[in-house]
Amino acid sequence: MEDFWSGVGVDLHLDPDSARGRRAGLERALRDAVRDGRLVPGTRLPATRRLAAELGMSRGTAKAAYDQLVAEGYLRARQGSGTEVAARPADRVPAASGTAGAPAPRLDLRPGSPDVGAFPAAAWLRALRRAIATAPSMAYDYGDPRGRAELRTALSEYLGRARGVIAPPERIVITSGYVQGLALLTRVLDGGVVAMEDPGLPFHRDVVRRAGGRVVPLAVDELGVRATELGDEDAVVVTPAHQYPTGVTLHPERRRALVDWARARGRLIVEDDYDGEFRYDRQPVGALQGMAPGHVVYLGTASKTLGPALRLGWMVLPPNLVDAVADVKLHSDHHTESIGQLALAELVTSHAYDRHVRACRLRYRRRRDRLVSLLGARWGLRGIAAGLHALVEVPDEAEVLERAAREGLAVGRLGDHWHTAADGRPQGLVVGYGTPRERVYPEALEVLGRVLGEVRRGRASTG
């Protein structure tokens, strides 16, 4: 007969084979549960008294079964802590070979991440508590695919105030980050031809392709994307506030050219405002969306301001795309998780989010200044007025990266961002000064400076 037993809060399905006798049947059931992984090492088992009562056998029989499996090495009896599943040599699986098992670099200056150690845990916990305390019971049910009204309302005010975005709540769709927003939009466009910045992030190009789109390159120079080179593409994806990876800000004339193209051809601009809150040496650059809200999809995220683990992003859509995007999202994941949305809404409306962004802006500016102080006089630095990364011009990416790897330092490479590899492309390092924890950032910079110095001296000696 099949039984369910529980103990110390754990339920487990067992099938003792009574035909073999009660003790032997229990031993086999427990042994099989350990072998096939239903009982993992460290799992505490119920006391023999409780197990015996639930399986309808004597306590002595249950204890004898435990003792036998302890002797065989399947279980471990700990004085005062009961009995638990033991770790056996067969359970220790060697690490997989290849990149999946590659150790993390000791020092990490790769771009793409903020200092996650600066996550405002205390403020988030307060916001979460307040949100849960006031949330209606329906907040725990399936929700609107567009997202919680509380967060869409909070973002409407914040984005208008901080980024110049025209964002009525009914035109906002909450997503699980920028990547989901880009994929949803590509699907709504039924694939189509999407122009993307060259250089730009390869992963984002892959997202568009996997969603059915066809990607074409759009060149970037010191003024940003060359908008006049656009033709009959269905959409263009741009990072106007702080181009990734060159760091340039889209020139006002290029902005106007983009908007003119979209209006004249009835096309779409996708604005990736991934780190628009972080600016240092200039006045805030408003979002492009404010110039043409009927032709621009604004994509933002909490990944750079708070942390990627939250998986919270937002789309501000032209009116004619809201229903289509919501429908695709409904059939993709139904809706983004709700409790985090409520907490973020509370964080925004209480202005704790603004305070956190200002604190981060000051922290990252100090980091940027240290980078400029170390390299600015000797190496070409670009994109330092804003954001979380800078581009360092170098003569040979491969040589620098090889030397850096020997020192345990990882850094981004400009060459990885071109649509196609070709000789004569500019070379550089994409340095993410937001990534390291505060305590290791000085060492990471020291190693970077030493590596670049070695490269320069080596070239001088052979020149």
Q: What is the pLDDT of residues 321-337, one digit of tens each?
A: 999 999 999 999 999 99
pLDDT digits (tens, 9 = 90+) for 201-241: 999 999 999 999 999 999 999 999 999 999 999 999 999 99
Burial of 423 (0-12, 13-18, 19+ CB in 10 A): exposed
Angle formed by the axes of helices 22-35 and 59-72, nearest 10°: 40
> What pLDDT is attached to residue 93?
46
* pLDDT of res. 57: 86
Question: What is the topology classification, in CATH, of domain 3-91?
Answer: Arc Repressor Mutant, subunit A (1.10.10)
Instruction: Please count the other Cβ atoms lying within 10 Å of the Cβ belonging to residue 205.
Output: 20
* Nearest alpha-carbon partner for 345 in 158, 196, 80: 158
Segment (H or E) for 255 = helix 252-265
What pLDDT does residue 149 have? Answer: 97
d(CA 77, CA 205): 55
Q: How confident is the model at residue 2 (pLDDT cuts 50, 70, 90)?
A: very low
Coil, strand or helix at 237: strand
Structural domain boundaries in the chain: 3-91, 107-115+357-462, 118-354
Q: Which residue has the tokens 């604190």?
A: 359
**pLDDT tens digits for 180-191?**
999 999 999 998
Write down the CATH number for the domain with range 118-354: 3.40.640.10
SS3 194: strand
**Statement: residue 440 has pLDDT above 60:** yes
pLDDT reported for residue 3: 43
pLDDT over 90, % of the chain: 69
The average confidence (pLDDT) of the chain is 89
Cβ neighbors of 131 (< 8 A, separation 6 or more) are 339, 342, 343, 345, 346
Work out the average pLDDT over 112-139: 95
Return d(Cα 133, Cα 260) in angstroms, integer: 48
Q: What is the pLDDT averaged over residues 420-426? A: 84
Residue 37's CB: how many other CB atoms inside 10 A?
9
Mean predicted confidence (pLDDT) in 407-421:
94
The answer to whether the pTM exceeds 0.85 is no
Q: What DSSP line would sit under 280-341, residue for residue? A: SSS-----GGGG-TTTEEEEEESTTTT-GGG--EEEE--GGGHHHHHHHHHTTTSS--HHHH
pLDDT at 282: 67
User: Does residue 388 carry a pLDDT above 80?
Assistant: yes
Diameter over CA atoms, the chain: 88
Residue 454 predicted with pLDDT over 60: yes
90: pLDDT confidence band, cut at 50, 70 and 90? low
36 has a pLDDT exceeding 60: yes
Look at residue 11 and tell me whether its pLDDT is greater than 70.
no
- Angle at which helix 338-349 crosses helix 352-375, to 10 degrees, equals 80
pLDDT tens-place string over residues 148-181: 999 999 999 999 999 999 999 999 999 999 999 9
- 99 or 330: which leads in pLDDT: 330
Arithmetic mean of pLDDT, 381-397: 91
Q: How many CB atoms lie within 10 A of CB 121?
A: 10
pLDDT over 80 (residue 12): no
Domain 107-115+357-462 belongs to what architecture?
Alpha-Beta Complex (3.90)
pLDDT attached to residue 33: 87
- What span, in angstroms and rounded, lies between the C-alpha atoms of 236 and 231? 10
CB 278 within 8 A of CB 364: yes
Q: Cα(425)–Cα(429) distance, rounded to whole angstroms?
A: 13
